[in-house]
Structure 1
């Protein structure tokens, strides 16, 4: 499936829309862009209107301001939904995108119909925090490419790297070509905001799925379970033998998880509206 050409909102957010049905928005991770979701667009577009976009400081979207917090990234999504005339959407956030999705759910609860957080962070240990802060300092000094090789080793299995060198190389190039300031602003938030809204998460009142990979060293199963415990009724899923980039490395597996959840969430929403008996 070849997606449509990218378009832009009045505030210059770059986005694509594929498929028809209930809207689902996918938010990529730090250093990546909307193209990371190719496997999910193929899998979800037959059932949903799939919206992918470049978050602030990434791809073809504008830089965030230097003092931009997660609220600014959440408000970017609101502007996109307003531009598309979408009142409510399911929101899927990966890694840093999971933090944005959390902020969006708390800041704009009337605009979200379901929430999925994939391979994201919550309640890092002191050692984990020290490691990501050190990587932020390296990026500040040497640019987005500073941590690329180590990141790819954390993100992908050795087997996938060996079998798909061109795709891994393309992702490395994407990381290296990020705008320095946009990347640093975003990565700094990723490094420090793992507890964003922790005491308010009980207010999230939509169907919620928190998932990660068994072998994800930065977004661990413990983090996923801990985050899910804070959100009423949230489901926590750990996919066996998967690493950080499981949406890219294992799209069929991840798509089945997403479809099962999203179709069920859609049905619950229809019942709440009296559409389904």
Structure 2
């Protein structure tokens, strides 16, 4: 296992961890997460793949950006640093959105795509008191409120389900820095991903937990219908934190992807 600090465009450093041998697979976490969200699948993947997980800007051990940046550019820097001409991408939540946008922008660098409880650029979320409150907390960079809402909205199985001992501190440690990092994020692509799904030409799996937010299921259906040949997997006993809630099932899915 090796840990690298990667200098990235726009200033700052990304902390990345690499292990194993075989076809490369890069793991991308969600918005108030860090590499710990993959704790329960990382070692299993490393027995069969060269696997990399990294902390996005302002998350975990990575630094805040010092200028405008794009998550897709950071992913490209990770691939280049490890010498991956192509790699499989597995993205959770926001990480799935980044992986999807990256695949549309750099199709020659991606060999497979696994979108786990993914968001998608261009999908319009219905308004609700919970999502409105979450958006307001993000705008104000109120870390404690972001963490409270994150755990209430997205960790629906609660503190008695597997993985909560990782989820709760991870969310609280990342909430405020993530909101600050988002303020430096460059604009999304002019053409949203949801209008270009038919251009995805790599093996794709869409994975969603049966206890996730209902709108994530709507997005999963939209992705599965729009991406040619995509298969959809519904994982029992999992909410938005699927890699920590149902790691054995996710590991099986990931190892079946080319």
Report the 3-state secondary structure (helix = DSSP H, G, I; strand = E; otherwise coil) of the residue aligned with 1:9: strand
Q: Structure 1 residue 83: deviation in Å?
A: 1.2
* The one of 100, 103, 121 aligned to 1:102: 100
Q: What RMSD in Å do the two structures reach over aligned CA positions?
A: 2.7
Runs of 4+ residues over 6 Å off in structure 1: none
User: When the two structures are superposed, what TM-score results if normalisation uses the length of structure 2?
Assistant: 0.85
Structure 2: where are the runs of 5+ without partners? none
Q: Does residue 157 of structure 2 align to residue 161 of structure 1?
A: no
Output aligned runs, 1:36-51, within 5 Å: 36-51=37-52
Deviations for 1:104-140, whole angstroms, at most 9, x for unmatched residues? 1001000000001000124344326x75354122123
Structure with max Cα Rg: 1
Deviations for 1:150-185, whole angstroms, at most 9, x for unmatched residues? 321333354643676643432243234635411555
Q: Structure 1 residue 215: deviation in Å?
A: 1.6
Output aligned runs, 1:1-277, within 5 Å: 4=1, 6-11=3-8, 12-64=13-65, 68=69, 72-122=70-120, 123-127=123-127, 131-158=130-157, 160-161=159-160, 166-176=165-175, 178=177, 180-183=179-182, 196-217=192-213, 219-260=215-256, 262=257, 265=258
Q: Structure 1 residue 10: deviation in Å?
A: 3.3
Deviations for 1:61-84, whole angstroms, at most 9, x for unmatched residues? 34346754xxx2111111111111
2-structure distance, mates of 1:51, 1:163? 23
2-structure distance, mates of 1:174, 1:252? 26
Contact 1:139 1:145 in 2 (8 A): no
Q: Name whichever structure is richer in helix by fraction.
A: 1
Contact 2:162 2:244 in 1 (8 A): no
2-structure distance, mates of 1:164, 1:199? 35
Structure 1: where are the runs of 5+ without partners? 266-277
